[in-house]
Amino acid sequence: MAELVYPPVIGAARTMFKALDLRFDIKGTEHVPQQGGAVLVSNHIGYLDFVFCGLTARPAKRLVRFMAKESVFRHKVSGPLMRAMKHIPVDRAAGMDAYRHALSALRSGEVVGVFPEATISSSFTLKNFKSGAARLAQEAGVPLVPMALWGTQRLWTKGHKRDLGRSHIPVTIRVGEPVPTDPAESADSLTERVRGRVQELLESAQRAYPVRTEGAHDTWWIPAHLGGTAPAPAEAGAAG
C-alpha cells in the first residue's frame, strides 16, 4: 500500500527542524538495514525522540513503525496520524496485542522502533531495559540496531518547558552496528548486551556534544555524574 501520510509528516518535521535551526551530528546511519526486518533500540530522554530516531532510517529509505503508549492513539490530533503511519499502540494492560502486532510487522520486513526503558529517563542516564525488544528480535529472526540520542531533552522533556524557538540546539545521534540474535541466548542476556552497546553509543554522543550552557541555571539537562543538575537516577525514579 502507498504511504500517503508518513512522507508528508517527515517533510513537515524537516521543515520544523530547519525553522528551529537545529545542529545535527548524526553518525552510523549506514548500520540501518536497507531491507528486511530490524528492531531499532534507543535511549529515551525527550518527547520528540521518535522523530529523531526515525531520521536515522532515512538514508536507507526506511520508515520506522514505533511502539508507543496507547493513550497517544486516543488523542484527536496525534491518534489519526499515528494510525495512518502504522505505528503500534501499546496497552500495558494487554501487552500481547502490541507484541503480536510488532512481530507481524517485523516478519513482513518492517523496521520497528522501541524504547526499552519504557519511559523517559528524567536523570538522562540509561535506565534498565525491558526485554521485549530482544524477545521480538529473537522470535522474528531479525537484528537489533542500537542507537543513542543526546540533546533532544533540551527541546522538550518531562518536567520542563518546551524550547521550540530558534535556539540552535545541537542534537547528536549515534547508530551502532546491528546486533545479531540467537534464539539459544536468553532474552535477558541479549537485553543486557544491547543495553551495553546503547550505553557506549550514549557516552560517544555525549563526548562529541558541543556543550553550550548559559550559566548555572542551564545545567538541568546535564546528568549529575557529568557535573550537571539533573536528578540522580534514584531521585528521578522516586519522582516517577
Q: Residue 234: what pLDDT?
A: 75
pLDDT of residue 224: 93
Q: How many CB atoms lie within 10 A of CB 106?
A: 22
**Alpha carbons 234 and 155: distance in angstroms, whole number:** 24
Task: Tell me: pLDDT of 237 over 70.
Answer: no
Tens of pLDDT, residue by residue over 186-236, are 999 999 999 999 999 999 999 999 987 777 778 999 999 999 999 999 766
Please indicate, yes or no, whether the overall pTM of this predicted structure exceeds 0.85: yes
Span 106-113, average pLDDT: 98
Cα(240)–Cα(238) distance, rounded to whole angstroms? 5
What percentage of the chain exceeds 90 in pLDDT? 85
Confidence of residue 66 (pLDDT cuts 50, 70, 90): very high
Looking at the chain, list the stretches that DSSP marks H as alpha helix, in order from N- to C-terminal side. 6-20, 49-55, 70-74, 78-84, 95-107, 132-140, 187-208, 233-238
Residue with cell 521485549: 132
C-alpha to C-alpha distances, 114 to 59, 88, 222, nearest whole angstrom: 19, 10, 24
Band of residue 167 on the pLDDT scale cut at 50, 70, 90 = confident
- The Cβ of residue 66 has, within 10 Å, a number of other Cβ atoms equal to 24
* CA-closest candidate to residue 4, choices 97, 112, 80, 69: 80
